[in-house]
Amino acid sequence: MDGFERIQLDETSWVDIARGWVTDADDLFAALLDNVAWQASKLFRYDHWVEERRLGSMWRPGVPLPHPQLADVHRALQRRYKVRFDGFGLIQYRDGSDGQAFHRDTDMRWLDDTVIAILSLGTQRPWLLRPRANRHSHSTEPGRGATHDLAPAPGDLIVMGGRCQADWEHSVPYLPDRAVGTRISLQWRHATRTGRPFVGAGYRAPVHYGRR
């Protein structure tokens, strides 16, 4: 669990990449795919609920881990970044029709100093970053305005930090016309309560899970 490379996105935002950070990534992927209680989730958009095109699950302390290897992963992340994670989320992108548009994790509210770690398993897919200033790009390409494609492979770790959630957006683009396998991502999130909190219903708030 080493080999980190930091990309300084701007003066206050950064992203770390650790390729092959987790060993036996294929075995971990298979175990999570089969054993996690995956659920469909819904977002409240304007005045109605919209089903997300992906599946999800959550882990909180006090319940069994979905895989024992994740105990070491959880501890290693907390030790490296010197923060405490209350748990982690899991997302399953079943195929190319599942994805996530450019967004910020505004549901965290405190965006001036965050740490978001993302462990990728399964199929390698584009994973895009763009500065918020590019969100009005008129390009028709799926990655419009993107300046980075980190494209994590199985076992790769991405960690966004600093003001990344305030000033940058990230995306897992939809690939409906391609034969794309399943990808699982796990996310650990921490926000230091500094600066002015984000006000408004963020991209992901509120989220409602229901069995499928």
Burial 118-149 (b: 16+ CB within 10 A, else e): bbbbbbebbbbbbbeebeeeeeeebbbbbebe
pLDDT reading at 146 higher than 50: yes
pLDDT the model gives residue 140: 52
CB 170 within 8 A of CB 152: no
d(CA 199, CA 15): 25
Domain ranges across the chain = 4-202
Residues in the chain: 212
Helix (H) or strand (E) holding 35: helix 25-35
**Tens digits of residue pLDDT in 147-198:** 999 999 999 999 999 999 999 999 999 999 999 999 999 999 999 998 889 8
pTM for the structure as a whole: 0.88
Task: Domain 4-202: give its CATH code.
Answer: 2.60.120.590
**Tens digits of residue pLDDT in 29-81:** 999 999 999 998 766 555 656 677 899 999 999 999 999 999 999 999 999 99
Residues 46, 48, 51, CA angle at the centre, nearest 5°?
A: 110
pLDDT reading at 100 higher than 80: yes
Q: Which residue is it, tokens 């405490």?
A: 84
